[in-house]
Amino acid sequence: MKYPLLALAILALYFAGCATPATPPMATQLLQYQRTGGIAGFDDALVIMTDGKAQLTQRGMTIEFTLDAAAIAQLEALFEQQGFLFMQGEHVPANTCCDLMSYVIHYTAAGHPMKRVHAMDRAVPQDLRPILAALNEIVSAHSQ
């Protein structure tokens, strides 16, 4: 072949065009929060993805919004600080009457399986209260 370097350059350009672009990793579910009950009959469901995309469902309506990276980092830090992954799974009072609120949280930390914690009013452990306050604040801020 008269021009071997030219042929190699053409082949290199051809195959470089065939390469697939790097795709960002898919977002996974960070947490799922459901708050039900109470005198007002709450039934709120919040899902937050690792990329900050979030969905709040209330009274049959779904609201989509995005939390910034700092808010996601704060949530992850709060769950870690409060020891969520090491909490007992059930916190239910002996008497469950009288319009108590029920809270169910599913949370996934990097490298850990999803953890579920269920608590009801009058049995919410102290370590779970700041997490519930933060999640309730997100729900309130995005409610219609």
Q: 84 lies in which domain range?
A: 27-141
Query: In a 3-state reduction of DSSP, which class is residue 36?
Result: strand
Strand partners, 63: 56
Query: In a 3-state reduction of DSSP, which class is residue 7?
Result: helix
Better-scored residue on pLDDT, 63 or 20: 63
Tell whether 42 is covered by a domain.
yes
Phi-psi label, residue 14: left if phi above 0, alpha if psi -120 to 50, beta otherwise: alpha
- pLDDT at residue 39 tops 80: yes
For tokens 């007992």, the residue is 88
- Residues 56-80 have pLDDT tens digits of 999 899 999 999 999 999 999 999 9
- pLDDT at residue 8 tops 60: no
For residue 78, the one-letter residue type is L
- pLDDT at residue 142 tops 60: yes
Task: Please report the pLDDT score of residue 26 as a whole number.
Answer: 73
In the numeric block, which tokens belong to residue 80?
Answer: 């870690």
Tell whether 131 is covered by a domain.
yes
What total of structural domains would you count in the chain? 1
Tell whether 2 is covered by a domain.
no
Q: For the sheet containing 53-58, what is the strand order?
A: 61-66, 53-58, 42-49, 29-37, 101-107, 115-120, 90-91
Tell whether 72 is covered by a domain.
yes
- pLDDT at residue 47 tops 90: yes
Tell whether 74 is covered by a domain.
yes
CATH number, position 136: 3.30.1560.10
For residue 56, the one-letter residue type is L
- pLDDT at residue 49 tops 90: yes
Using 50, 70 and 90 to split pLDDT, how confident is the model at 143? very high
Q: Tell how strand 90-91 and strand 115-120 pair up.
A: parallel
Using 50, 70 and 90 to split pLDDT, how confident is the model at 84? very high
Q: What's the whole-number mean pLDDT along residues 34-61?
A: 95
